Amino acid sequence: MTGGAATPRWAIIGTGAIAEQTIGDIRLAGNIDIVAVASRTAATAEDFAARHGIPRVFASVEDALGSADIDAVYICTPHSSHFELARQALLTGKHVLCEKPLTLTASQSRELADLAAARGLFLMEAMWMKFTPAVLQVQELIRSGAIGEVRSVESSMGYNFPRTETSRLWNAELGGGALLDLGVYPAAFAQLLLGTPLSVAAHGVMQADGVDLRSTLTLGYSDDRFATVTSSLTEVIMAFAVVGGTAGTIVMDPTFFAGGAIHCYSAPDYTAQTTTVPIEGAGYVPMFRAVGEALAAGLTEHPRHPLADTIAVLAVVDEARRLLAAARPTA
């Protein structure tokens, strides 16, 4: 695919782990034309470009954001940089796909959403989970009535990440902590199936610097429906999900949002019906393809992952972080 007036020319911003992990899937999607890459360090960007056959390297992130030759950017930098980079990109007229979490707080995402709307530009958080066949399949099972009315959602994700000097996960200034890095997945899954919660309760551990190590949130909804959302930087919890309904249960094996076995236990006999859904590429292909299609259709948000959902999930994270900070022993 070549760049042109009708084909948005994309630049990748950042050359770290997620950029490496997704570049193959971007190619597989077939409708996202990566013409350039930028990083804070030109040498890193040159190396990335050479290894992945990307024609152009910008000397700096600022050069890429200011370039008239770029129509859209995929932001792959640490959380704490997302707001300012996305804001700059929108101000210079670029569509934005930004890695999760879109920003550190709900109010920052609101500001970006307003800016994108005012400029008529596409903006989406790269919440690939919402686009995977596994999650679509669960929604289809629910729509078909397989488990009756959904009453509860339980999902978790944790790793025992090494605490190193350089890890962004343990660095408060880079937006470290379990909730912003991992918790957004189970929280977005609960948001997808139950909507925006009316209440948030949190048990967990937060360091004095604001890095939350682990927590379980209980989210309350109308009509006594509930979700639990667990995330951890200090223990391994394979990412599973359980959806409880009035007539059955769906259990999604790890990694629930990427794909794998889905077990559906329906009334009256609750015998497991197991389906395994395919994973395309590393799992990100459906999201990239959907973004390419949305841009081609002139959309400014993707209906499957609208900004309202990103903002609602970050509002849950805001409140959970506030509760964990308030509960932290001061002695």
Ligand X SMILES: NC(=O)c1ccc[n+]([C@@H]2O[C@H](COP(=O)([O-])OP(=O)(O)OC[C@H]3O[C@@H](n4cnc5c(N)ncnc54)[C@H](OP(=O)(O)O)[C@@H]3O)[C@@H](O)[C@H]2O)c1
Site residues for ligand X per CB under 6 A: 14-18, 39-41, 44, 61, 76-79, 81, 99-100, 126, 128, 168, 181
User: Which alpha helices (DSSP H) does the chain contain, by range?
Assistant: 17-29, 42-52, 61-66, 79-91, 106-119, 133-143, 178, 184-194, 285-296, 307-327
77 vs 105, beta carbon nearer ligand X? 77
For residue 117, CA distances in Å to 33, 102, 130 come to 23, 16, 22
| Rounded Cα gap, residues 40 and 45, in angstroms | 8
Separation between Cα atoms, residue 177 and residue 175, nearest integer Å: 7
Maximum Cα–Cα distance across the chain: 63
Q: Which residue is nearest to ligand X (CB)?
A: 16
The verdict on whether 130 is a catalytic residue reads no
Which residue, among 73, 66, 36, 67, has the nearest Cα to 52 in the 3D structure? 36
Structure tokens at 197: 């919660």
Radius of gyration in angstroms for the set of CA atoms belonging to the chain, rounded to a whole number: 20
First to last CA, the chain: 60
As measured in angstroms, the least distance from the Cβ of 115 to ligand X is: 19
In the complex, the smallest distance separating the C-beta of residue 85 from ligand X, rounded to whole angstroms, is 6
* Cβ–Cβ under 8 Å, residues 323 and 200: yes
Q: Which two tokens stand for residue 52?
A: 């992945």
Residue 113, C-beta contacts closer than 8 angstroms, at least 6 positions apart? 123, 307, 308, 310, 311
Nearest to 150 by CA among 62, 227, 244, 213: 244
Nearer to ligand X, 104 or 141 (CB): 104
**Choice among 79, 94, 100, 289 that is catalytic:** 100
The nearer residue to ligand X, 85 or 277, going by C-beta atoms, is: 85
The residue (of 114 and 173) whose beta carbon lies closer to ligand X is 173
Q: For ligand X, give the closer residue by CB, 54 or 147.
A: 54
Identify which of residues 15 and 191 has a Cβ nearer to ligand X in the complex: 15
Q: Which is nearer to ligand X, 7 or 63 (CB)?
A: 63
* Least Å from the CB of residue 167 to ligand X: 8
Cα–Cα distance measured from residue 239 to residue 133, given in angstroms and rounded to the nearest whole number: 16
Task: Tokens for 79, please give them.
Answer: 């959380």
Supply the minimum distance, in Å, between the C-beta of residue 242 and ligand X: 22
Is the Cβ–Cβ distance between 281 and 25 less than 8 Å? yes
Smallest separation (angstroms) from ligand X to the CB of 297: 24
CB of 74 to ligand X, least distance (A): 10
* Nearest distance in Å: CB 132, ligand X: 11
CB burial of 267-278 (b: ≥16 within 10 Å; e: otherwise) equals: eeeeeeeeeebe
Q: Catalogue the active-site residues.
A: 100
